Structure 1
Amino acid sequence: MAAGGCFCGNIRIEYNGKSVMAGICHCQDCRKLTGSIFSYSFAINSADLKVTGTPKGVPKTADSGNAIKNYFCPDCGTPLFGRRVKGDEPDGDTIILRAGIFDNPELLNTQKPGAELYTENRLDWLAPIEGAAQITGMMELP
């Protein structure tokens, strides 16, 4: 089981199972979401996720055109996960879990990104990840 949480500790996340995909995204939304030049996330099945605490959901239309909701700690602002929505309801079984929230860095070493998304937005001085699929937009998730 993988465990992590937000900066202040008020939200805890656990997931058991394997990620469907680990990936890096260079889209504008992910840059804004993380305050960095890309995001590193795991796509997981929602049934494998346990959340303790009450994250705040912020709805948005993503760069992909999908209606999404990103979840943050309402106290410290740590980005935790996101998912597609239809109205207020989940749309699909996949959750995009922010990899940086995990307590054990070894998990990050064992989950090398399988894809880079929105590669046309990757900064020129940042090299592609060897072996990762290079995708110019969003890939379809289950």
Structure 2
Amino acid sequence: MANAQCSCGALRLALPEKPNVVIACHCIECQRRTGAPFGAGAFYPAEAVTVSGFGKQYTRDAVSGGKVHSYFCPNCGSSVYWKADNLPSMIGVALGAISDISQLPAPAKSIFEQSKHHWTQIDAAGEHFQQGSVARPSS
């Protein structure tokens, strides 16, 4: 098992060894959530993750519809994980919260590149999207 936690250790997650996918997200909301030019998350099956401690929830509207529920530690403020209404079977975990990064692959997708900082580049990502993570037909 892998672990993730906030800075003070009050909010912890027990995770499977390997995530289903790792994604770099350049949307404005992820930039605000992380205070960084992009958010990076590992996605795990929700039923395989055990949460210990109390996370304060912040809910926002998702660009793709539905809501995104972010959980952070009320003690230290670290953003640790999130759940999206449009993807109820998965939990996204902030890469910076994961203790053993040696088993994490590079991001497979780089999404919402329309709001990407011009100096960032996720070369390892196999797929790049201007908006969400699903290709949309050109208009």
TM-score band w.r.t. shorter chain? 0.7 to 0.9
Distance in 1, matches of 2:79 and 2:13, equals 12
| CA spacing shift, 1:33–1:120, aligned 2, 3 Å | same
Q: Which digits, 9 at most, give the CA deviation of each residue in 1:90-123, with x for residues without a partner?
A: x62111111110122313xx41110000011111
Match of 2:128 among 93, 117, 134: 134
| CA spacing shift, 1:43–1:11, aligned 2, 3 Å | same
Distance in 2, matches of 1:127 and 1:111, equals 16
Match of 2:91 among 79, 86, 95: 95
Q: Percent identity?
A: 22
Distance in 2, matches of 1:60 and 1:36, equals 18
Distance in 2, matches of 1:85 and 1:127, equals 29
Using the size of structure 2 for normalisation, the TM-score is 0.87
| CA spacing shift, 1:131–1:37, aligned 2, 3 Å | closer
Distance in 1, matches of 2:109 and 2:69, equals 22
Correspondence for 1:83: 83
- Deviation, 1:131, is 4.4
Q: Is the 8 A contact 2:106 2:125 kept in 1?
A: no
How big is the alpha-carbon RMSD for the aligned residues of Structure 1 and Structure 2?
1.7
Aligned length in residues: 134
| Amino acid paired to 1:104 | D
Q: Which digits, 9 at most, give the CA deviation of each residue in 1:60-110, with x for residues without a partner?
A: 102333311100011111101111238xxxx62111111110122313xx4
Distance in 2, matches of 1:42 and 1:102, equals 9
Match of 1:111 among 105, 114, 128: 105
Correspondence for 2:61: 61
Report the 3-state secondary structure (helix = DSSP H, G, I; strand = E; otherwise coil) of the residue aligned with 2:59.
strand
Moved over 2 A (4+): 62-66
Distance in 1, matches of 2:133 and 2:40, equals 15
Match of 1:125 among 103, 119, 123: 119
Distance in 2, matches of 1:16 and 1:131, equals 22
- Deviation, 1:17, is 4.8
Correspondence for 1:38: 38
Structure 2 runs not aligned, ≥5 long: 135-139
Q: Is the 8 A contact 1:64 1:137 kept in 2?
A: no
Report the 3-state secondary structure (helix = DSSP H, G, I; strand = E; otherwise coil) of the residue aligned with 1:31.
helix
Correspondence for 2:137: none
